């Protein structure tokens, strides 16, 4: 009979230890460091799809504020949080909006202005034109996603061009080297059968330094704060506001489209420090990709991009 309380005591002890372990994991994950995967090409070629990164959360939580030039991770800016306090907390710190990654161009108090000069976009911060050596210098080519390719193969070229206009969500833009064969591209392998053609039958290509055409008829906002999805914008940032942009300016949804982000409301949670892994894959976990593509898995690993510092 005396053994029953001992068993119960041991079970209770194990439950307490498990709960404490979960608490420690949560604290480390929330306030210590994070591991991130790049879901889009908005930061090419600084960051490529299929890469994993180590990020510092501790500094932003306890030591310093985000700085100009930092590559940061933050919550999806247009996410609709719950009005329920507990659920909102859960969405903020456990499971909710997706993580976005951009570079800080403007910090609180900065005056940021985007303009077109000599046909190219430029950015001024507090009256000084920015030199941005990190910007993507490679053109982008549109490629249908893998689940769309089989459909496209059944459509002739004329129908394909019409279909492309209606199915923009089924394609993605990738950085490429124009004078290098498709199978030898250093960023992504590109399947010529899946390349999107424009209305005149040529590959859909975006060149670096080309201004973005207006995507909205939204009028300029008052008091010198305006943005509408183009490279012409102007804003003086508030006390907790940051202007963020992708290094891949021709392929990035950033503050030009949704305006400044608020550090507290949007929850800027980490500074990206190191690239630890790189593979040409959309799988969220490399093991799944290995199972699906065992033959050519290692040929798609970008070995030269492992363990690099992000600037």
Q: At 227, is the pLDDT very low, low, confident or very high (cuts 50, 70, 90)?
A: very high
The secondary structure element, H or E, covering residue 142 is strand 140-144
What pLDDT is attached to residue 237?
A: 96
Stretch 164-175: mean pLDDT: 66
Any residues with CB less than 8 A from the CB of 119 and at least 6 apart, and which?
211
Peptide bond into 296 cis (omega under 30): no
- Please tell me the least confidently modeled range out of 20-29, 70-79, 149-158: 149-158
Mean pLDDT of the chain: 83
Between CA 57 and CA 34 the distance in angstroms is: 7
Between CA 95 and CA 89 the distance in angstroms is: 9
- Residue spans of the domains in the chain: they are 32-108+238-309, 140-206
List strands edge to edge, sheet with 233-236.
128-129, 120-125, 111-117, 233-236
Provide the percentage of residues in the chain whose pLDDT is more than 70: 79
Contact 229, 220 (CB under 8 A): no
What pLDDT is attached to residue 135?
A: 97
What pLDDT is attached to residue 296?
A: 80
pLDDT tens, position by position, 95-121: 888 889 999 999 999 999 999 999 999
Residue 299 in this model has a pLDDT that exceeds 60: yes
What pLDDT is attached to residue 130?
A: 97
pLDDT tens, position by position, 242-261: 999 999 999 999 999 999 99
What pLDDT is attached to residue 15?
A: 73
Between CA 36 and CA 98 the distance in angstroms is: 11
Three-point CA angle 156, 159, 161, nearest 5°: 110
* CATH annotation of 32-108+238-309: 2.10.109.10
* pTM for the structure as a whole: 0.83
The secondary structure element, H or E, covering residue 22 is helix 3-31
Residue 267 in this model has a pLDDT that exceeds 90: no
Residue 141: which of 255, 245, 216, 44 has the closest Cα?
Answer: 44
**Beta bridge partner(s), residue 36:** 53
What pLDDT is attached to residue 165?
A: 46
Q: Where are the alpha helices (DSSP H) in 193-302?
A: 255-258, 286-292
Q: At 147, is the pLDDT very low, low, confident or very high (cuts 50, 70, 90)?
A: low
| DSSP states along 64-100 | ----TT-EEEEE-TT----SSHHHHHHHHHTSSSPEE
- Higher pLDDT residue, 25 or 45? 45
Residue 30 in this model has a pLDDT that exceeds 80: no
């Amino acid at each position: 009979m005396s053994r029953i309380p001992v068993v119960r005591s041991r079970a209770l002890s194990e439950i307490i230890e498990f709960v404490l372990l979960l608490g420690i994991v949560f604290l480390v994950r929330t306030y210590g460091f994070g591991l991130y995967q790049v879901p889009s090409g908005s930061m090419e070629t600084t960051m490529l799809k299929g890469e994993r990164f180590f990020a510092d959360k501790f500094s932003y939580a306890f030591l310093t504020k985000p700085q100009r030039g930092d590559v940061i991770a933050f919550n999806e800016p247009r996410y609709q949080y719950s009005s329920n306090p507990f659920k909102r907390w859960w969405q903020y710190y456990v499971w909710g909006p997706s993580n976005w990654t951009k570079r800080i161009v403007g910090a609180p108090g900065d005056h940021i202005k985007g303009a077109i000069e000599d046909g190219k976009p430029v950015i001024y911060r507090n009256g000084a034109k920015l030199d941005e050596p990190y910007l993507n210098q490679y053109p982008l080519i549109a490629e249908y996603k893998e689940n769309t390719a089989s459909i496209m193969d059944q459509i002739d070229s004329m129908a394909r061009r019409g279909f492309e206009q209606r199915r923009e969500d089924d394609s993605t833009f990738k950085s490429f080297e124009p004078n290098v064969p498709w199978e030898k591209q250093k960023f992504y392998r590109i399947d010529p059968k899946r390349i999107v053609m424009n209305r005149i039958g040529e590959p859909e290509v975006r060149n670096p330094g080309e201004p973005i055409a207006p995507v909205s008829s939204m009028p300029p906002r008052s008091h010198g704060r305006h943005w509408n999805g183009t490279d012409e914008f102007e804003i003086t940032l508030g006390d907790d506001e940051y202007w963020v942009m992708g290094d891949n300016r021709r392929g990035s949804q950033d503050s030009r489209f949704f305006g400044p982000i608020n550090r507290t409301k949007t929850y800027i949670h980490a500074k990206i420090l190191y690239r630890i892994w790189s593979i040409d894959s959309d799988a969220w976990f490399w093991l799944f990709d290995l199972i699906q593509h065992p033959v050519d898995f290692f040929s798609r690993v970008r070995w030269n991009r492992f363990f690099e510092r992000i600037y």
